[in-house]
C-alpha cells in the first residue's frame, strides 16, 4: 500500500473512534441501567478518544511520509 492509502485508512479509523466517543458519551448521559453501567461508558469514551488521537497523528505522519516520498520520486 502507498503512504496515501495508509493515511486514508488511519483517517477512517480515527473517525470511527470519534463516533465511538460520541456513542459512549450518549450512553453515559442516558443509560438503560445506571447501576449496571457505572462509569464504564466514560472509561470507554476516554479510551476511544485516546485511540482516535493516536490514529489522527498516524494519519498525519503517513501523509507527510507520502509527500516526502513523492518529492523524492519526482526529483
Going from N- to C-terminal start, the domains of the chain cover 3-74
Query: What is the distance between the alpha carbons of residues 36 and 52, in angstroms, rounded to a whole number?
Result: 26
CA distance 67 to 59: 12
pTM of the predicted protein model: 0.84
pLDDT at residue 74, as a whole number:
56
pLDDT averages per 10-residue partition of the chain, 75 residues = 91 98 95 86 97 97 80 56
Q: What is the dihedral of CA 63, 67, 70, 74, to 10 degrees?
A: 170
Amino acid at each position: 500500500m502507498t503512504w496515501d492509502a495508509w493515511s486514508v485508512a488511519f483517517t477512517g479509523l480515527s473517525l470511527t473512534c470519534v463516533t465511538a466517543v460520541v456513542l459512549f458519551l450518549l450512553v453515559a448521559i442516558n443509560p438503560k441501567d445506571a447501576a449496571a453501567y457505572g462509569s464504564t461508558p466514560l472509561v470507554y469514551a476516554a479510551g476511544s478518544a485516546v485511540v482516535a488521537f493516536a490514529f489522527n497523528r498516524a494519519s498525519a505522519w503517513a501523509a507527510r511520509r507520502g509527500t516526502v516520498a513523492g518529492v523524492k520520486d519526482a526529483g
